[in-house]
Amino acid sequence: MDGNGRWARKRNLPRVAGHQAGTNNLRRILRACVDQGIRILTLYAFSTENWRRPEEEVTGLMKILETVIARELDELDRNGVQIRHIGRMDRVPPGLQQKIKHAVERTRHNDQLILNVALNYGGRAEIVDAVRAMLAEGLHPDYIDEDTISRYLYTCGLPDPDLIIRTSGENRSSNFLIWQGAYSEFYVTDAYWPDFDEGELKKAVEQYGKRERRYGGVNQ
Ligand code: IPE
Ligand code: MG
């Protein structure tokens, strides 16, 4: 969900106004996902590197996220959305932590759409956490293969993403699902996240449908 800051700057608004606009965009995108048959959506909300931003922006963003969960939870639950969190909880403000835990608990039996919220998420941190957990459990090296590692990631039990969309024209992964995304299709659009709408999503999915996925092999 990139480009909130530039969206705001273009309108002479503070960066947090861009984050606000970005969260207001979530409803229509979730609805569009359900309409287009997407069953699992992961939103990159805040990275382990985003703490480097000015305190004012970080605090503002955390507040916005807290408000958004409080405001949207009833409807998400009603629509069968299962909310999950991927990332580290440690630095997340206690109020937001509590709201996330509550949302995850309340929606755990829903099955229309899995919504992974990547918050204080970093792909490298995730791999570090997986290695630590494997060592702590005393796993023997001979028993560690790619599936083992996948099972120790935050996304345990979920398939790898088919499509990764990045808004705002940046061509990099920025530490997002770096293990899981090894063979994901990438799609970059110039639209800033607050402007990314149903039509943009449809274009991305259509483009994805034309890709030939070979996973390093050759298609006959
Ligand atoms: C949103 O966009 C990403 C978040 C960390 C919430 P940005 O805040 O990165 O927007 P730009 O890149 O400055 O435009
Ligand atoms: Mg950015």
pLDDT of residue 146: 98
Number of helices (H), then strands (E), belonging to the chain: the values are 8, 5
**What is the distance between the alpha carbons of residues 66 and 4, in angstroms, rounded to a whole number?**
18
pLDDT in tens, 111-165: 999 999 999 999 999 999 999 999 999 999 999 999 999 999 999 999 999 999 9
pLDDT of residue 105: 98
pLDDT in tens, 11-53: 999 999 999 999 999 999 999 999 999 999 999 999 999 999 9
Residue nearest (by alpha carbon) to ligand 1 atom 13: 5
Distance from the alpha carbon of residue 120 to the mean position of ligand 1, in angstroms: 14
Q: Is the pLDDT of residue 80 over 90?
A: yes
pLDDT in tens, 84-104: 999 999 999 999 999 999 999
Q: Is the CB of 46 under 6 A from ligand 1?
A: yes
pLDDT in tens, 163-177: 999 999 999 999 999
Beta-carbon neighbour count of residue 213 at 10 Å?
A: 11
Cβ atoms of 148 and 134 closer than 8 Å: yes
Supply 161's token pair: 């993403």
Which residues are identified as catalytic? 2, 50
Q: Is the CB of 50 under 6 A from ligand 1?
A: yes
Cβ atoms of 107 and 126 closer than 8 Å: no
**Dihedral sign, Cα of residue 175, residue 181, residue 182, residue 186:** negative
**What is the distance between the alpha carbons of residues 105 and 84, in angstroms, rounded to a whole number?**
9
**What is the distance between the alpha carbons of residues 154 and 91, in angstroms, rounded to a whole number?**
17
Average pLDDT, the chain: 97
pLDDT of residue 219: 87
Q: Is the CB of 122 under 6 A from ligand 1?
A: no
Q: Is the pLDDT of residue 190 over 90?
A: yes
**What is the distance between the alpha carbons of residues 130 and 30, in angstroms, rounded to a whole number?**
30
Q: Is the pLDDT of residue 78 over 90?
A: yes
Report domain 4-194's class: alpha beta
pLDDT of residue 220: 78
